[in-house]
Amino acid sequence: MHLKRPYIVLRTTRREFLTATMLPAICGAAAVSAADPTDDAIARIKPLFTKKKPPLPGDWLADHKESGQSYAQFRATTARPAIDLFSTLRIVPIGPLTEGQATVLEVVRDFLTPFFGLALALDAPVRLAEIPANAQRVADSFGRRQLLTTHLLNEVLMKRRRAKDAAVLGITAFDLWPGAGWNFVFGQASLTHRVGVWSMARNGDADGRREMLRLCAFRTAMTAAHETGHMFGMRHCIAYECGMNGSNHVDERDRQPFEFCPECQPKLWWTLRLDPLARSQQLEKVARKHGFDGLAGALSKQTTALRG
């Protein structure tokens, strides 16, 4: 089976940027109750978040018109919670990983578990020898090897998906490209088929200094959370500074918060039946474990607000 739209492409031509074409994963109609149990938690965390600032030249919203998606809109177009249908996130490493890159993968796993509250299944790696020659190329004079995203999506990840998988996430240290006319992409995903692949290649040197490893891990985990959010039907956020903001380039992405905002977090609380306080506490613990002090501090304030 070959993938058709809707899909997400994280791409770069002259500048790095992300594009997302969204279709809710589960469509229908679900009215939001006048006494939504998330209302109190939303009110508690709202003062901690900043309204979306006007874009700088070259930023995502300077180049792309977005309609956004409120929590109420998400509920109105989602027939039933995803947790009623799915129970796992499946991660598939693609190609070999160095010691530092394997550490990045462990950090991603640590964050995704409490972020979405689903069990993580780690599949056996896809060996480079399993990828045919026409799905690989050497892209530049530096000998950078790239893998073809459409092959990975159609011929590899689709075959790994199980009935209870909310998403199958391919993670690789190799650079990616989606076909003719493209230099490279950060990643690509099919929303309807719930498969995606992302690269850590441009997030920093995972085998460099400790600070660079930490930066690579942070960026990769943030991207994984953002793109997995899309697979649950979440559009780019334009209401707050938020982990679901669109991003045109690395500098813009680095300005954005990791955590989702008061419009986007409740979408996860509802569709995955997450306890807001427990989720925040667990994420704070993971952030401290990996030395992400700024994120840990923000999550500590959120935990305190939710505790009341």
The CATH number that applies at residue 226 is 3.40.390.10
Q: Which residue range(s) make up the domain with 230?
A: 7-30+38-274
Q: What is the pTM of this model?
A: 0.85
Mean pLDDT in residue range 260-270: 98
Residue 292 included in any domain: no
Residue 171 included in any domain: yes
Task: Provide the CA 53 distance to its chain's centre, in angstroms.
Answer: 22
Mean pLDDT in residue range 243-254: 90
Categorize the per-residue pLDDT at 155 as very low, low, confident or very high, splitting at 50, 70 and 90: very high
Mean pLDDT in residue range 164-181: 93
Mean pLDDT in residue range 234-256: 93
Question: For residue 242, what pLDDT is reported?
Answer: 98
Cα–Cα–Cα angle for 35, 40, 41, rounded to 5 degrees: 125
Question: For residue 32, what pLDDT is reported?
Answer: 52
Residue 283 included in any domain: no
| Residue from 219, 238, 260 nearest 52 by CA | 238
Tokens standing for residue 297? 């501090």
Question: For residue 11, what pLDDT is reported?
Answer: 41
Question: For residue 230, what pLDDT is reported?
Answer: 86
> What is the identity of the amino acid at 14?
R
Residue 306 included in any domain: no
Residue 238 included in any domain: yes
Is 70 exceeded by the pLDDT of residue 10?
no
Question: For residue 27, what pLDDT is reported?
Answer: 40
Using one digit for the tens of pLDDT, what is the confidence trace for 27-56? 444 445 556 779 999 999 999 999 999 999
- Structural domain count of the chain: 1
Strand partners, 126: 94
Contact 109, 78 (CB under 8 A): no
159-164 contacts: CB < 8 A, separation 24 or more?
A: 160/90, 160/92, 160/123, 161/90, 161/193, 161/194, 161/195, 162/88, 162/90, 162/121, 164/85, 164/86, 164/87, 164/88
- Give dist(CA 243, CA 268) in Å, integer: 13
Residue 161 included in any domain: yes
Residue 126 included in any domain: yes
Q: Where are the alpha helices (DSSP H) in the chain?
A: 39-45, 60-63, 71-76, 99-116, 149-151, 158-160, 210-231, 250-255, 265-271, 276-289, 293-307
12 vs 91: which has the higher pLDDT: 91
Largest CA distance in the chain: 60
Residue 284 included in any domain: no
218 vs 223: which has the higher pLDDT: 218
Tokens standing for residue 263? 């419009």
Mean pLDDT in residue range 178-202: 84
Question: For residue 21, what pLDDT is reported?
Answer: 33
Contact 249, 219 (CB under 8 A): no
Categorize the per-residue pLDDT at 12 as very low, low, confident or very high, splitting at 50, 70 and 90: very low
Average pLDDT of the chain is 88
Phi, psi angle pair for 23, to nearest 5°: -140, 125
Strand partners, 119: 88
Strands 7-12 and 16-20: antiparallel
